[in-house]
Structure 1
């Protein structure tokens, strides 16, 4: 670990405010506007933006540690902010590799813009390699997009929506088009944000469905036209690497908080049978030790892989397997740790207002993010065994 101190950007008093609000937003199914305001004021939305452009100049490794800390206080806030940080992280990945194609993202984040991630589509298991959204070229070099995006976090507040679609009409079609649509398209009616987010957990993300009806991305916000399917382009690598690592960071933060709550509860609960605190019970001690053993493996993996992205390390054909693997391990370990924490805490955690009860619901969302378990195993199998023969 480095000497970077995440408490400078996320001090304890700020985290306690966010934690107190998290229960309210979960109960009321509302977006955490106050959290966003506090994080903006702290410069958090520009942590991955270079100092010369008005940001904190941090790397992905430092952002991962910050997101772990934020998720321990307010998981849904952390997951929502994650999607903004993905685009600023992709901008950093490109800039580090000599491309300024997303410089406007860095400048916008430093100026207070909020970037949302409009990639997910119902039934699209191709994810970055295909799209059910139509991308139609316009005479001035822009594109219009028609389709439906799901799980669009930050729906009430985003100012720029980064998305993709498939161009099937150009001379070199088909082409995957990556671009950014401004919030003004909501006012024109070409973007419709449905108020349909009523979920089991991660409620404050307000990841609503977004309907695109010839939504226009201007020419200077069209950042890539790529052939469908696996592609070595740095944009694809940037999206996949930053998305997987920051997602894993959020769920690692949830795991840490569940472990802390289990330890605190074990110290407070007393056995009627023995008269001793549950922290002295050998079965409880074994369970908490098992939780800690699982958790302790996660932060070093995130640190190492995040630094490898920052340092432009070469893992060759293993990159996607490593990234999918760390996300899969973080999510599955976090779920198991929360499960064990609930067992340690007992029946009080079954109430919806209990923090562990909320973590139990929030951690389930990790199963739905790419790479899902099937995709992760397929990616790793291909990396080690080669592709499936026809």
Structure 2
């Protein structure tokens, strides 16, 4: 089921599909080694994928949220780690383009770098504060020293750490209640990547720790003082789109397996068995529900004037998509049976990867609480 609405979207999907299919050939090796997929990222930069959300004034395509999810979902069918990693870059570029929170000249300079292939991501999570969506104050500190800031701290879950050119780091400003976001280039003295990403899920995202030891930056690189008021962020839907893409890959594998696997106890393939057809039907309806919900929320975001009213819908779309992904992969493994547990079978990788979606923001408990409070208002 394609959600492409225009010929341009269909053509872009074909290009993304070509990349995704080539990435799928490397996905097993990336998962087993835990290495960051540098070649995949180079291919995306070469194809212009990393500039899709960039403004047209910087030779980007300035795609909509709907289109971002469309392409990210397809990319994730090939390699979930690659899709999730590049999704953070694309989403943050979209966010910056829409809000323009920085000094105009600095913004233009950085976007020009992005147009030439530079990669960026935010570094916000910390060992003792957990996800920034929980409201913890950063222990990373920024101290003013003359016309410079001195920054010290450690950030976790810094996706694409080894490939990033620019880090957007949140830090508590010493002596004040404010939290600042600082632009820090990877080649500045005191910036260190601690390679400690060794999880069972999304092993290729390279989400190592970022360590900052007396990093000095000019005053102009305090790019934003964060507001305590929470805003709705549609771009974060790149996360559930990625996990739905992985679930779709699991569905495709299980359906093809059911057409070709024929044990000698049967006269034909297992697709003729009622219980297998029931599981396939469940996969279809759950994927259909989740995709329609996700894309309808994205379309509303693209066309809605008061986006801050959409926080509940955005959270619910993520909740439905990520939990559906877990469910669909489980159905796929039930169809394939014990063969799905072997290391050379992609289903065991999909199973591990979709579990990570439950821990991406917003978490399930926060979403359920938000929806309950809105219902009780």
TM-score when normalising by structure 2: 0.91
Give the Cα–Cα distance (whole angstroms) in 1 for the partners of residues 70 and 171 of structure 2.
Answer: 32
Describe the superposition over 1:13-35 as per-residue Cα deviations: whole angstroms up to 9, x where unpaired: x3222111111111111111110
Provide the residue aligned with 1:84 in structure 2.
89
Shift of 1:316: 4.5
Structure 1 pair 103/345, CA: closer, same or farther in 2 (3 Å)? farther
| 2:296 aligned with 1:304 | yes
| 2:361 aligned with 1:374 | no
Provide the residue aligned with 1:27 in structure 2.
32
Structure 1 pair 122/375, CA: closer, same or farther in 2 (3 Å)? farther
Provide the residue aligned with 1:38 in structure 2.
43
Provide the residue aligned with 2:181 in structure 1.
178
Shift of 1:86: 2.2
| 2:345 aligned with 1:354 | yes
Structure 1 pair 266/304, CA: closer, same or farther in 2 (3 Å)? same
**3-state SS of paired residue (2:171):** strand
Provide the residue aligned with 1:132 in structure 2.
139
Give the Cα–Cα distance (whole angstroms) in 2 for the partners of residues 102 and 297 of structure 1.
Answer: 39
Aligned ranges for residues 23-172 of structure 1 at < 5 Å? 23-95=28-100, 102-124=107-129, 127-128=132-133, 129=135, 130-140=137-147, 142-169=148-175
Structure 1 pair 30/263, CA: closer, same or farther in 2 (3 Å)? same
Greater shift in the superposed pair: 201-210 or 63-72: 201-210
Give the Cα–Cα distance (whole angstroms) in 2 for the partners of residues 64 and 280 of structure 1.
Answer: 34
Q: Is the 8 A contact 1:91 1:105 kept in 2?
A: no
Provide the residue aligned with 1:314 in structure 2.
306
Structure 1 pair 296/117, CA: closer, same or farther in 2 (3 Å)? same
1:9 to 11, 15, 26: 15
Residue-pair matches, total: 368
What is the CA RMSD across the aligned residues, in angstroms?
A: 2.2
Aligned ranges for residues 210-225 of structure 1 at < 5 Å? 210-225=210-225
Give the Cα–Cα distance (whole angstroms) in 1 for the partners of residues 93 and 109 of structure 2.
Answer: 10
Give the Cα–Cα distance (whole angstroms) in 2 for the partners of residues 369 and 126 of structure 1.
Answer: 9
Q: Is the 8 A contact 2:294 2:321 kept in 1?
A: no
Provide the residue aligned with 1:287 in structure 2.
279
Unmatched 5+ stretches in structure 2: none
Shift of 1:348: 1.7
Q: Is the 8 A contact 1:180 1:221 kept in 2?
A: yes
Q: Is the 8 A contact 1:291 1:340 kept in 2?
A: yes
Structure 1 pair 94/201, CA: closer, same or farther in 2 (3 Å)? same
Give the Cα–Cα distance (whole angstroms) in 2 for the partners of residues 32 and 346 of structure 1.
Answer: 30
Shift of 1:174: 0.4
TM-score when normalising by structure 1: 0.88
**3-state SS of paired residue (1:137):** strand
**3-state SS of paired residue (1:306):** helix
Give the Cα–Cα distance (whole angstroms) in 2 for the partners of residues 54 and 138 of structure 1.
Answer: 38
Provide the residue aligned with 2:205 in structure 1.
205
Give the Cα–Cα distance (whole angstroms) in 1 for the partners of residues 110 and 258 of structure 2.
Answer: 46
Structure 1 pair 7/126, CA: closer, same or farther in 2 (3 Å)? closer
Shift of 1:201: 2.0
Q: Is the 8 A contact 1:9 1:44 kept in 2?
A: no
Q: Is the 8 A contact 1:46 1:106 kept in 2?
A: no
Structure 1 pair 368/126, CA: closer, same or farther in 2 (3 Å)? closer
